[in-house]
């Protein structure tokens, strides 16, 4: 199964708002899905000048499975490797809530300043079905929270729905500019 950027679904597709199912058995089929998720993320990245494909949840390629792939090195676009988290669960949230920018491959052209916990502990299964635990700080903690939200049908915009100052658009030059909440966000039928 060849998966590409065009397989990534976007709002207003209501499937993004549904809860994903637990993966019961990890076989070649599940591993092919994972390989396809990574391929789709990299294909998307290759089509964007100022953005990096950081992570993807299976629901974003319209498969309601609790699978997440997260890039190994966010700062090195040449490192195109990912870690796999099957049935990921947040075990513990720690630290302060920190606001920072988030985007999503399933929300076109909208970024948000989203509060997330600064540290997270996660348990999951790896590509081969072995149990793994991870503790993440900073940006990686944010990515885990964002992606695990996807498995619950929650989008990052849901955390900031009532915060007019929190919405931004990526400009051609790679900078973010504030969106007009009333005009661009509040009654936007694509987002809500």
Catalytic machinery residues:
147
Instruction: Return the residue matching tokens 């994972």.
Output: 34
**Long-range contacts of 31-35, Cβ-Cβ distance < 8 Å, separation of 24 or more:** 31/127, 32/1, 33/1, 33/58, 33/61, 33/63, 33/65, 33/67, 34/67, 34/69, 34/84, 34/127, 35/3
Q: Using CA atoms, how far apart are residues 168 and 174, in angstroms rounded to an integer? A: 12
């Amino acid at each position: 199964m060849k998966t590409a950027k065009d397989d990534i679904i976007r709002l207003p597709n209501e499937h993004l708002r549904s809860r994903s199912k637990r993966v019961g058995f990890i076989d070649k089929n599940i591993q092919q899905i994972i390989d396809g998720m990574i391929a789709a993320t990299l294909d998307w990245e290759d089509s964007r000048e100022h953005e990096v494909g950081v992570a993807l949840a299976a629901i974003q390629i319209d498969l309601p499975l609790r699978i997440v792939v997260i890039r190994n090195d966010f700062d090195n676009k040449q490192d195109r490797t990912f870690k796999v988290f099957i049935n990921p669960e947040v075990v513990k949230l720690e630290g302060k809530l920190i606001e920072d920018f988030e985007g999503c491959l399933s929300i076109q052209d909208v970024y948000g300043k989203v509060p997330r916990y600064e540290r997270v502990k996660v348990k999951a299964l790896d590509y081969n079905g072995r149990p793994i635990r991870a503790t993440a700080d900073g940006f990686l903690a944010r990515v885990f929270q964002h992606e695990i939200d996807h498995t619950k049908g929650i989008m990052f915009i849901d955390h900031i729905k009532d915060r007019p100052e929190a919405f931004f658009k990526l400009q051609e030059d790679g900078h973010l500019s504030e969106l007009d909440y009333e005009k661009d966000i509040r009654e936007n039928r694509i987002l809500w």
